[in-house]
Structure 1
């Protein structure tokens, strides 16, 4: 009887998780995709603004070089204003972080975008900076954070249901099944993350080109990231981001699709 009750509870949890996920659908006006998200744009903006100070503090706070910080804001706003991203309701703001050692850039929900001094000092052109910021803008307009939260809730519900169904307090070996279920959920979310990165690369090609920057600079950024990683990485399926070499091929494909007749003249390199 106890086993049957566990199975019924697990089914109910799984069913509620699936129905909640599939019923929360919204069309993304920027990408044209129908997405599974369960928060409003206003909630995304509020969440990003709330998290921004804490995230900045993890990287030593904002950089003291006001001129460099102003340049990041200028390039970022040029991308927003020229590409159509400025027509979205997101409140974009661009920040230079003080961390000189970490090579990173990231976007919070709603438009708060950060780049570390450690990455900036490795970039050699304005177009490369634009490529990095364009990629992060892509995450925002594609609502990747909202999608990740919805998917995380789904996988958490499903793996929790599986753990309830599998676990037997009188059989310690059943614990390994619960751990395996949790790992499957984690790997699923990693896969979503890698797909999001590739979509942001493709969006960055569009965003940079429309803003007058040469999107080919993004392939140079990938080589910078590859060099920063020391060329050493584990199997790609265990990583949140695709390896830079694979991203270069996707970026080149996206450039060809966006500009089948060749890139326009006069782009900023």
Structure 2
């Protein structure tokens, strides 16, 4: 009887998680995609602003180089103003982090975008910096963070249901089922994250070209990151991103599709 009750509770939790996830759908006005989203745009902006100081602190705070910071902001705002990102409700702001060893860039929901001094120092051209920032802008306008939060709630609910269904207080070893379920949930989230990265690469191709930068510069970024990984440097980028070889091939395909007659001349490298 006790086991049957556990299964009933587990099914209720799993069912509630599925229904909550699938019922919360809305169309993204920028991308045109229908997404499972569990928060408003205003909530995304507020969450990003709230998390920004803590995230910056993890990388030693903001960099003191005002000239380099101004350059990051200048290129970031150019990308926003000259692309569809500028028509979005998000409040974009671009930050240079003090960490000079780690190679990373990331976006918080709502438009807070960061790049480490370590990654900036490796970039060789303005076009490469534009590619990195364009990629992160893509995450924001595609609402990837909001999607990930909705998916996390779903997988957390399913993991809880699996844990309740498999746990037997008379057999403590059965608790490993809950651990396995949590591991599967993490792998699911990671897979979605990698898909998001590839989608944001496509946005980077569009945004850089629309803002006057050569989209092929993004291939150079992947080569730089790949070299950093081989050298054993602090490349946090690859903890959640696909490997650079796969991304280079996808970038080349995206560029060919965007510019079937060739990339226009005169773009900033």
TM range, smaller chain: over 0.9
Distance 1:19 1:96 in 2: 41
Query: In the aligned structure 2, how far is the partner of 1:44 from the partner of 1:220?
Result: 32
Q: Considering only aligned residues, what root-mean-square deviation do their CA atoms show, in Å? A: 1.1
Aligned to 1:268: 268
What's the CA shift for 1:173?
2.6
Superposition pairs for residues 93-172 of structure 1, below 5 Å?
93-172=93-172
Question: Moved runs in structure 1, 4+ residues, more than 6 A?
Answer: none
Residue 135 of structure 1 deviates from its aligned partner by 0.4
For residues 25 and 77 of structure 1, do their structure 2 counterparts lie closer, same or farther at Cα, with a shift above 3 Å needed? same
Q: Residue in 2 aligned with 1:86?
A: 86
- Cα deviation for residue 262 of structure 1 reads 1.0
- Residue 230 of structure 2 corresponds to 230
Structure-2 separation of matches of 1:239 and 1:95: 21
Q: Are residue 199 (structure 1) and residue 238 (structure 2) matched?
A: no
Where does structure 1 lack aligned partners over 5 or more consecutive residues? 233-237
Rounded Cα–Cα distance in structure 1 between residues aligned with 2:77 and 2:130: 10
User: How far does the alpha carbon of each residue in 1:95-131 deviate from its partner, in whole angstroms, 9 at most, with x for none?
Assistant: 0111111100000000000000000000000000000
Q: Which whole-Å CA distance do the structure 1 matches of 2:264 and 2:30 have between them?
A: 23
Note the 1:213-224 alignment, pairs <5 A.
213-224=213-224
CA shift, 1:239, in A, is: 5.0
What's the CA shift for 1:231?
6.4
Q: Tell me the SS of whatever aligns to 1:173.
A: helix
Distance in 2, matches of 1:105 and 1:239, equals 12
**1:211-261 CA distances to partner (integer Å, 9 max, x unpaired)?**
1100000010001111111267xxxxx952100111001111110111111
Indicate if the aligned counterparts of 1:190 and 1:239 stay in contact, CA closer than 8 A.
no
